[in-house]
Structure 1
Amino acid sequence: MVTVVCTRWLDAFPASYVTVLRNAVAASLKRPHRFVCVTDNPDGLENGVEGVEMPDLGIPLQYQRRGCWPKLSIFTPGLLPADQPTLYLDLDVMVRQDLDAFFERIESTGGFHALREWNPTIWSMVPLAMRPHRGVQGSILGFYPGEQAKLFHKFYDQKEHCFEAFPLDQDFLSENAQSPQDWPFAWTASFKWHCLHYYPINQVLTKIHEPKNAKVVVFHGNPRPIDVVPLGDYRWGTKRKFGHGPVDWVREYWLRHDPTWTDAAPAKAA
């Protein structure tokens, strides 16, 4: 048995995100597993999702909304089985294939596994080994909870110092995780960095690239997956990286895993 865990707090994501992630995990993971959502609001969680109350770590509201500091609650001792391989996934990732490989890596080496924060697009012309390592990107984490208990104590006992010393929770993880290791770079893709072109190139190359070999596609920042699903002619994205209307391969994924979706009343994130 292994554990897949996500987190949901305040109003950042509707419960439909949890449903989609659970269904995508079930389609991509062969081994028996628990699917756990650590949350301050279990409303809307469906069968197959084990809702676990999010421990109160005393995080001020401003830091609950800036970054993902409540995510660190997953390291609370006793919350998850200490000796069970555990894979944390952000709610806005797309699980496309073969999660078993992530667990095999956790089991083979132990330690703390995370995405290497991506470099801006211009660095794609440089071999990976020569690119600056920007630390942890916190969307996909792998660990044995018992091995990472120090993360909880380091944060809980020194919260104010952590908020002052680290801009985001992933900066805290970069500095304090035990035996950090990068996931294989080819396993994941960033929607923002690997699928979109900058303006004005995106006015000529309008098709959104699909990273077909990536096991997981990570949405971080703007847009979120649900922003590129509805039918229609609308603009999404940032000032320099944007598109219009649905992205076909994201829409197909979402409709496959969310049986309640309707274009008439999409359940948009707050």
Structure 2
Amino acid sequence: MMSKILDASGGVKQIICINWGTKYGPPFINRLYAMVQRNITPPFTFTCFTDNRDGIRPEVLCEDLPELDVVMPVNSRGIWPKARLWGATLGKLKGTVLFLDLDLVIVSSLDDFFTVGEPDDVVMAKNQTTPFERLGQTSLFRFPVGKLVPIQEKFRADPQKVADKYRYEQRFVTKNAPGGVKFYPRRWVLHFRQDCRRPFPLNYFLPPKLPKSARVVIFPRGLLPQHALEGKYGGKQVATAPATYFMNVITGRERRHSVFSDLRHYIKPTLWVGDHWRE
């Protein structure tokens, strides 16, 4: 099945990512490339669609951001600039591409992501935070170049209306991809908060786990791999010893949500993240 899926790309596994602005940039791109290289059987290509090529390692094939002459939605949680990748062409690439977010961590082989489904399928990671909704996750998904033109056109017609209706770009893709979508096995792509961190009160005694089934771990909504490695829940949280954090929450010194929510947020340093999330 792999050769059939890869026929249009000449047998080459094509990995893509996208970068704009200054939130991520070369360190994330270079690190992602290194993780891919360690966890894929050649031949493969790694293409980054970006607005700034400075500092990107030479093995990365850089392409300009595809043009999309719309005003991106505002006050919406979705990562809607990903819609730039849904056009009829995608740089020099033909056939199947596997999209990866810049802030995920690859912990095992990517090869099987090119074996699921048929060549013309859109195949998505399963969204772990909505178990009762058939929803995909665009942190990692595979599609044939040009297949998503109809949804790009629908988005282009009224970006804000689409964002207001679907809230997240992954819901828009799941509900509107031509021919529907298929899903990768649920346990291949894990959600750090949902699948790895320990429940309260074990989070004060044990570091987040890495289940054996994992191929990729994603870090949505502001909790980046660096935060997990340092032992803090997000960019605004200070890494502290368990007892110090516990008392800071109880006394209100470190309070952003409810007491119980903030107590659950504590994580010990996650050293396995550093083992994989590196050049």
Q: TM-score range by the shorter chain?
A: 0.7 to 0.9
Residues of 1 paired with 2:138 and 2:164: CA distance?
19
Bigger Rg, which one: 2
Deviations 1:129-185 (A, max 9, x none): xx5124122111101113222222222233232133221211211221122011111
Matched residue, 1:242: 266
Matched, 1:174 2:174: yes
Aligned equivalent of 2:27, options 5, 8, 16: 16
Deviations 1:37-82 (A, max 9, x none): 1122222211111111112424546649842101111112212456
Residues of 2 paired with 1:180 and 1:57: CA distance?
24
Matched residue, 1:111: 121
Residues of 1 paired with 2:51 and 2:207: CA distance?
39
Matched residue, 1:195: 196
Q: When the two structures are aligned, how many residues end up with a matched partner?
A: 243
The normalised TM-score by structure 1 is: 0.80
8 Å contact from structure 1 (residues 112, 142) kept in 2: yes
8 Å contact from structure 1 (residues 22, 49) kept in 2: yes
Question: Which 10-residue stretch deviates more, 55-64 or 73-82?
Answer: 55-64
Structure 1 pair 116–247 and aligned structure 2 pair: CA distance change class (3 A): same
Structure 1 pair 231–139 and aligned structure 2 pair: CA distance change class (3 A): closer
8 Å contact from structure 1 (residues 191, 217) kept in 2: yes
Residues of 2 paired with 1:149 and 1:58: CA distance?
15
Residues of 2 paired with 1:230 and 1:82: CA distance?
38
**Which letter maps to 1:147?**
K
Gaps of 5+ in 2: 1-11, 233-237, 246-255
CA RMSD of aligned residues (A): 2.7
Q: CA deviation at 1:25?
A: 0.7
Question: Which 10-residue stretch deviates more, 109-118 or 75-84?
Answer: 75-84
Q: CA deviation at 1:110?
A: 2.8
The normalised TM-score by structure 2 is: 0.77
Gaps of 5+ in 1: 121-130, 259-270
Aligned identity (percent) is 24
Alignment of 1:41-56 (within 5 A): 41-56=52-67
